[in-house]
Structure formats: C-alpha cells, structure tokens
Structure 1
Amino acid sequence: MLIVLVLLSALLFAIVTISTNQRSAARNGITGVLLVLLVGSIALLFTNDNQHWGMKTVTTTTEKPLTSASNMSGANLLLYQALGNGKEKIFIYKTNTQQKKVATTQADIKTTSKVTRSNTKNAKLVTKTQRYVYRNGFYRALFAGVDNNHAFKSRQHEFKVGNNWVVLSTTQAKALQKQAKTSQAKLKAQLTAAVKAKMVAALKQNPQMTTEQQQALQKQYTAAAQKQAQQQVLAQLQKESLK
C-alpha cells in the first residue's frame, strides 16, 4: 500500500506542479497534501526497514542430537575454530554417526554459540532463531511489496553436552593427534611390557596353566592395559579441554 502511495503521490505531485502555472489556495492545498503523503509514506517505509516498525519477533527452536566430531581415543569430541581475539568461535560438529562431513556454525555477528555441561547422556544442539514478522494483516497489507516478512534477526546455538565430553580447538586437536602419533610406539612397548610382566607373575602363581588359559588371560590383560591407556589419553584430553 505504501509503495503505491509513494508512486501515486509522486506522480500526482509532479502533474499538479507542472500543469498548473498559477498559484491558488486549491493548488497549494493539493500539492501540500500530496507532499505530506509522499514524505510520510517514505518515512514509514524507512522506519519499517530500519526499525522494523509494525513487526514483532518470533522465535523458532530446533533440537538436533550430537555425536563426536572426530574419532580420538573414543572421546566424545566437540571442536571449535577461534576467531579474532578468541571470544567468537565457529563450532565443528556432527549430528549422527553416518555423517561423513562435519557441520559448522555460522560465522556472522548475528550468530552466537555456547557450550553448557550437565550430567546428560544425550548430547544435543539447541538452536533458537529469531525472525521479524508483521504484527497483523493490517501491517502486512500496509507494507505489501516490501518483501521483508520473516526477515532474519539473530540466532543462538547452545551445545548441551555431558561432563564426559571434550571441547577442543582445532589447534589443540591437531597438536594432540601429532603427539599421539609420536608416542604411539612408546605406548605400545609399555603395554606389551606390562602385559608380559603380568603373565610372568600369573604363570609363577599357576605353572599348570594350559595354553588356552594363557591366551585368555593374556587377552584379558591386554584389554585392561588398553583401557587404562585410553583413560590416560581421555584424562589428558579433559585437561586440555579446560584450558
């Protein structure tokens, strides 16, 4: 409606001004009314565009499950890339185990992200999106043609994860992966030595142990040693996660 008023008032104002040479009270009154309509309509359009006059904010909430963004020693991992001074972050995540490519949060000033921890077993991403919509049909008709209904306002991401989740920067994750590769041979040697020592002690205690029993016991000791090593890695990841 306002766009039509702008066009009509501008056109009529030009016609009245150009076609009528003599000044009169009627001419002045008509041009005055047309000028008020023109300026008023433009002002309302400007206010709607800049201040969202005639509109209200509606919030839409969505929830998605979270899975580990990377396979690192069995840890539930959430990654982020720091921006600028480090306060703003782009989070890197997955919503299902079959997802081949990771997803990322948006890198814009209207999007904020945070991580909250609890005893929850099911991690999830809660996203709240705010948009501007017209208050009622009158404003929708008034600003018909402006095409700004459902205009984006802001977005908040909240990663709700358990206390066992590890939140690392991509820099930290790369450093830890590099460290793991360099220490892998050493760790393997330590595990082998630990299992061997336990097997020697077990054989001394029970020399009559059969081959099958020895294999089963060695498998048990190996699994326990691997679990202990994994717990040590997870503890290191948790320590890095607090930094």
Structure 2
Amino acid sequence: MILILSAICLVGIILLSIRAKFPGRGGYLALLTITLLGSQSYLLMDTQFHWGTKLVTKKHTVKIYPIVSFPGSNQVLIYRNLGSGKTKKQIYVTAKGPQKKQKSLLYSDGIKVRLRSYRQKSALRITAQSEYHYTSKLMQVLFAGITNNHHLKATTVTFLLPGNWSVLSTSNARQAGTALKNGKAELKQKVAGRVQKYLRLHPEKATAQPVLKRIEEQALQVETHRILQKFADRQASHD
C-alpha cells in the first residue's frame, strides 16, 4: 500500500511538472512531495525497526556423527580454520551417518556457532532461524512489496556434544593422533593402573571378566579424552 502511494505521488509530481498551467499546481506539488518523502522515510525506518512484526524462531534438529574417532569411543567434531584475525571463520565437518560415507559441512560465516556439552549419548546439531513475521493482515497489506515479512534476522547453530566428544581443528587432530601413537605404552600403563585401582576397591570382581572389560573401556575413554583435550581449541565457539 505504501509503495503504491509512493508511486502515485511520483507520477503526480511528474505530470504536474509537465503541466505548468494546472490550477493550484504549486500546492499540489508541495502536498505530493511531502507525502512521497514521508512514505519513503516511513519505509526506510521500517527496514530498521520492523514495525508491525514479531520474531518467530524455527528450529531444526539432526543427529550428527563424527568423521574422526579415537580409542575408547572418543569422537571428534572436526573443523578447519579459514582466514585469520577478526575475519577467521570455521568449516565444521560431520558425517551424515554412522558409516561416515557422506559428509556435512557447516560454514560459520554470517551465523553464530555454539558448542555445548550435554549428558545424552547422541550428538545433535540444532539450527535456529529467527525471522520477522507481520502480526496482522493489515500490516501485510500496508507494507506489501517490502521484504520484512519472513526477513531473516539471525541463524544460530548449536552443537550438543556428549562427554566423549572433543572439538579439534584438522591440524590439532593430526597432532593428537601422533601424540596418542607415540604415547601408546604410557596410555596402556595408565589404563592398567585404573583397572588395578578398581580391583583394590572391589577384589570380589577379580574374576568378573565382563565387569573388568567395562572398567578397562571406561579407563581408555577417560585417558584418551584427557589427551585430546590438550589439543582442543577453546576459541572454536562463536557466541
């Protein structure tokens, strides 16, 4: 409606400019010019303040899988840095399924990326998009032709990662792999030490192989995770 009003005013100004002898020409020109400037100013301010709209946030949740795994069921959310300084962005890489055949890429440019720990077994990626929606049909008619309706304000992607997940850059992941390979003997000793400590507290479990196997796997997970955390980049989250 405002766009139509602006167009009518513009056409009127052009016609009055051509017809110099039109009765009351000066007054009509002034009125049309003021109306045109007012409507355009109103539209310009609306693009900033989004009058007559409300924010609606839509969320989409998907389960994610790692493309890199380490001993002890340790999973890694891999990312690659692009650029440097204030312009540095990340590409986060995950797998679309447990077989890791298809990759999913997320580029952090123009969006907020948040990394959160939680106590579930599956890792999730939640995409939240906030859009402006007009609150009534009247506002839709009034601002017809303006892009405010469904205009995207912000996109936030949150990775919810279980305790056995780490966040590593591609270079840090390679360094972590080398450290684990070179420290394999030490890692084995620490795992054995944790198992022995458990047996001292629970000597009756000495012959319970399933229990000992579970304790050994838990120890391997904890010790491997501790090493991975030494290489984790705390700056990967963009809040």
TM-score, structure 2 as length reference:
0.70
Read off the aligned partner of 1:159 and give its amino acid letter.
F
- 2:217 is the alignment partner of 1:236: no
Contact 1:61 1:127 in 2 (8 A): yes
1:212 aligned partner: none
Given that 1:79 and 1:91 are in contact with CA atoms closer than 8 Å, whether structure 2 keeps it comes out as yes
- Counterpart for residue 210 of structure 2: none
1:219-242 Cα shifts (integer Å, max 9, x gaps):
xxxx99x96995554442243337
C-alpha offsets along residues 73-93 of structure 1, whole Å, 9 cap, x if unaligned?
342111223453488544322
Q: Deviations over 1:65-123 (max 9, x none)?
A: 122232333421112234534885443223432452322333323x1111111322222
Identify the residue that residue 75 of structure 1 maps to in structure 2: 74
Q: CA deviation at 1:56?
A: 2.3
Q: Deviation at 1:150? A: 1.0
SS in 1 for 2:144: coil
Pairwise mapping of residues 67-216 of structure 1 onto structure 2 (< 5 A)?
A: 67-73=65-71, 74-82=73-81, 84-85=84-85, 89-109=90-110, 111-178=111-178, 183=182
What letter matches 2:69 in structure 1? N
State the Cα distance separating 1:11 from its structure 2 match. 0.9
Identity %: 25
- Distance of 1:242 and 1:89 partners within structure 2: 12
- What SS is found at the alignment partner of 2:231? helix
Larger Rg: 1
* Higher strand proportion (structure 1 or 2): 2
Q: State the shift of 1:28 in Å.
A: 2.8
Deviation (angstroms), 1:12: 0.9
Cα distance in 1 between the residues matched to 2:3 and 2:109: 31
Q: Structure 2: how far apart are the matches of 1:112 and 1:227?
A: 36
Length, aligned pairs only? 205
Deviations 1:33-92 (A, max 9, x none): 211221122112222334333332211112111222323334211122345348854432
Distance in 2, Cα, partners of 1:133 & 1:227:
51
Gaps of 5+ in 2: 189-212, 235-239
State the secondary structure of the residue aligned to 2:121.
coil
For structure 1, the residue ranges without an aligned partner over 5 or more in a row are 192-222
Separation in 1, partners of 2:3, 2:99: 50
| Cα distance change, pair 106–149 in 1 and its aligned pair in 2 (3 A) | farther
Secondary structure of 1:71's aligned partner: strand
CA distance in 2: counterparts of 1:144 and 1:242, whole angstroms: 47
Contact 1:89 1:113 in 2 (8 A): no
**Structure 2 counterpart of 1:30:** 28
2:225 & 2:179 partners in 1: Cα distance?
14
TM-score (norm 1): 0.69
